[in-house]
Amino acid sequence: MSELIKKTAAELGSLIASGEVSAVEVTQAHLDRIAAVDDRVHAFLHVGAESALAQAAAVDAKRAAGAELGPLAGVPIAHKDVFTTTDMPTTAGSKILEGWRPPYDATVTRRLREAGLVILGKTNLDEFAMGSSTENSAYGPTCNPWDLTRIPGGSSGGASASVAAYEAPLSTGTDTGGSIRQPAAVTGIVGMKPTYGGSSRYGLIAFASSLDTPGPFARNVLDAALLHEAFSGHDPMDSTSIDQPVPSVVEAARQGDVAGLTVGVVKEFGGDGYQPGVLARFQEAVELLESLGAKVVEVSCPSFTYALPAYYLIAPSECSSNLARFDAMRYGLRVGDDGTRSAEEVMALTRAAGFGPEVKRRIMLGTYALSSGYYDAYYGSAQKVRTLISRDFEAAFQHVDVLISPTTPTTAFPIGERADDPMAMYLADLCTIPSNLAGNAALSVPCGLADEDGLPVGLQIMAPVLGDDRCYRVGAAVERAFEARWGGPLLSKAPAL
């Protein structure tokens, strides 16, 4: 096993820029790692070895020609298979898009290429990013590198597993209700949901457009910030993209300081339904923050307890509309077109064959919540709860700089345990959903291992809209202090694959 795969993205970037190692060597080391472990982890739906080596060679040629390289040029990355890529298939984890080659690149994809990042392949996800375990992928689940019988989180479970298994130092994800932070927490890595509108949705296959947010995964806070900066910023192709400078996240990650900050502990996130080992590690993080000079206070956000039900009305409603585009006419699967059936019959047969059970459930739930007679009671009420949640955040940020909570109520659960119990599965996103509904920034960083099962626990750090830098500043301070205590990154305690 090459030592290169254990290095951080920042280290790899400077080794490549200085010419100590070539981008091709770094890419080959990661491709070798994928070949050695991915039959067990199943993080990737597609590996583009040839195109990755060609991209790496182009970076090396650029350097040889004397060009200045960016901080991540030549660094490999695993790309969630929900972003369009012209040179690789894009499936969103669904049979309805099997083998589809998009005619355009997502803005995130384009910016990765412009930064010289080497795209190794596309990672597995719950179908159309709907789920918390990757078990809803039409192509089979991804396994957690800490324990291959357990889920790696979801929907960006291939993304989290690829980074935790050292198959890539970085990966992209998308977070609609927790799909970056929850997988990061249960695999012992760092995952960031930027402020909504801070990263472009153009070419991101839509699930719930008012919530979907692209963000980075990495094994440390600085690497996550470097990737965040590389693909974020205003995009005229996404009309909900924020036309303001990206917060200075890299600088904040380098500073990592909490002295003088006020940290609010969300009172509503704890107690019944939370695993004791998760609460114990969270309490340690609270004490750690105090020892680092932060003032810690308890904050009540009463509407947060209504976030989960509001989310499971708003997200399915938006999904029922967004997924109407899969109509068997312009791209993707077409089933039953035998010359006798109508377009509508072909559409219904195709969608029944191409979508999995969770996607069907959510489309029908959304159709129900939006239908006349039920709209006010369900979708309308959920939108009001959304207002209340934003107000709770605004009130809290009047007197605290960041809010913290456990990222998830439990550690990684066994594959299959919640597969046919939607309500149990939905609880995985209990603590992450408020920040999607309010659109603010939120980060998950490793917080130790639960005593009862030895599995990773995540600490969630929430900041105001466009306060992404605060997440990184606090996250970096927590990371540095914890790693001093642990004698290295949490991931170094994971069993060898």
Partner 1 sequence: MSAITREEVAHLARLSRLALADEELDHFAAQLDQIVGAVARVAEVATADIPPSSHALPLTNVFRPDVVAPSLTPEQALSGAPAVEDDRFRVPRILGEEA
Which one of 13, 93, 197, 489 is in contact with partner 1 (CB under 8 A)?
197
**Considering 22, 132, 137, 155, which one is annotated as catalytic?**
155
Does the active-site annotation cover 179?
yes
Q: In this chain, which stretch among 247-255, 261-269, 337-345, 407-415 interacts with partner 1, using CB under 8 A?
A: 337-345
If the CB atoms of residues 70 and 309 are measured against partner 1, the closer one turns out to be 309
345 interacts with partner 1 by CB under 8 A: yes
Which one of 14, 51, 262, 383 is in contact with partner 1 (CB under 8 A)?
383
210 interacts with partner 1 by CB under 8 A: yes
Which one of 325, 329, 399, 492 is in contact with partner 1 (CB under 8 A)?
329
**Considering only residues 241-280, where is the footprint of partner 1 by CB under 8 A?**
242
**Considering only residues 218-237, where is the footprint of partner 1 by CB under 8 A?**
236
439 interacts with partner 1 by CB under 8 A: yes
Which one of 351, 418, 470, 473 is in contact with partner 1 (CB under 8 A)?
351
325 interacts with partner 1 by CB under 8 A: no
Does the active-site annotation cover 155?
yes
Print the SS3 string covering the chain: CCHHHHCCHHHHHHHHHHCCCCHHHHHHHHHHHHHHHHHHHCCEEEECHHHHHHHHHHHHHHHHCCCCCCCCCCCEEEEECCECCCCCCCCCCCHHHCCCCCCCCCHHHHHHHHCCCEEEEEECCCHHHCCCCCCCCCCCCCCECCECCECCCCCCHHHHHHHHCCCCCEEEEEECCCCCHHHHHHHCCEEEECCCCCECCCCECCCCCCCCEEEEEECCHHHHHHHHHHHECCCCCCCCCCCCCCCCHHHHHHHCCCCCCEEEEECCCCCCCCCHHHHHHHHHHHHHHHHCCCEEEEECCHHHHHHHHHHHHHHHHHHHHHHHHCCCCCCCCCCCCCCCCCHHHHHHHHHHHHCCHHHHHHHHHHHHHCCCCCCHHHHHHHHHHHHHHHHHHHHHCCCCCEEEEECCCCCCCECCCCCCCHHHHHHHHCCCHHHHHHCCEEEEEEEEECCCCCCEEEEEEEECCCCHHHHHHHHHHHHHHHHHHHCCCHHHHCCCC
349 interacts with partner 1 by CB under 8 A: yes
If the CB atoms of residues 350 and 411 are measured against partner 1, the closer one turns out to be 350
**Considering 160, 179, 200, 320, which one is annotated as catalytic?**
179
If the CB atoms of residues 18 and 104 are measured against partner 1, the closer one turns out to be 104
Which one of 347, 415, 428, 476 is in contact with partner 1 (CB under 8 A)?
347
Q: In this chain, which stretch among 133-141, 181-189, 253-261, 334-342 interacts with partner 1, using CB under 8 A?
A: 334-342
309 interacts with partner 1 by CB under 8 A: yes
The contacts of residue 336 (CB under 8 Å, 6+ apart) are 345, 346, 349, 350
395 interacts with partner 1 by CB under 8 A: no
If the CB atoms of residues 4 and 323 are measured against partner 1, the closer one turns out to be 323
Which one of 388, 403, 443, 494 is in contact with partner 1 (CB under 8 A)?
388
> x/- contact string, 96-135, with partner 1 (CB under 8 A)?
----xxxxx-------------------------------
Please state the length of the chain.
497
Judged by CB under 8 A, how many residues of this single chain contact partner 1? 71
334 interacts with partner 1 by CB under 8 A: yes
348 interacts with partner 1 by CB under 8 A: yes
343 interacts with partner 1 by CB under 8 A: yes
Which one of 292, 438, 461, 497 is in contact with partner 1 (CB under 8 A)?
438
Does the active-site annotation cover 162?
no
The set of catalytic residues is 80, 155, 179
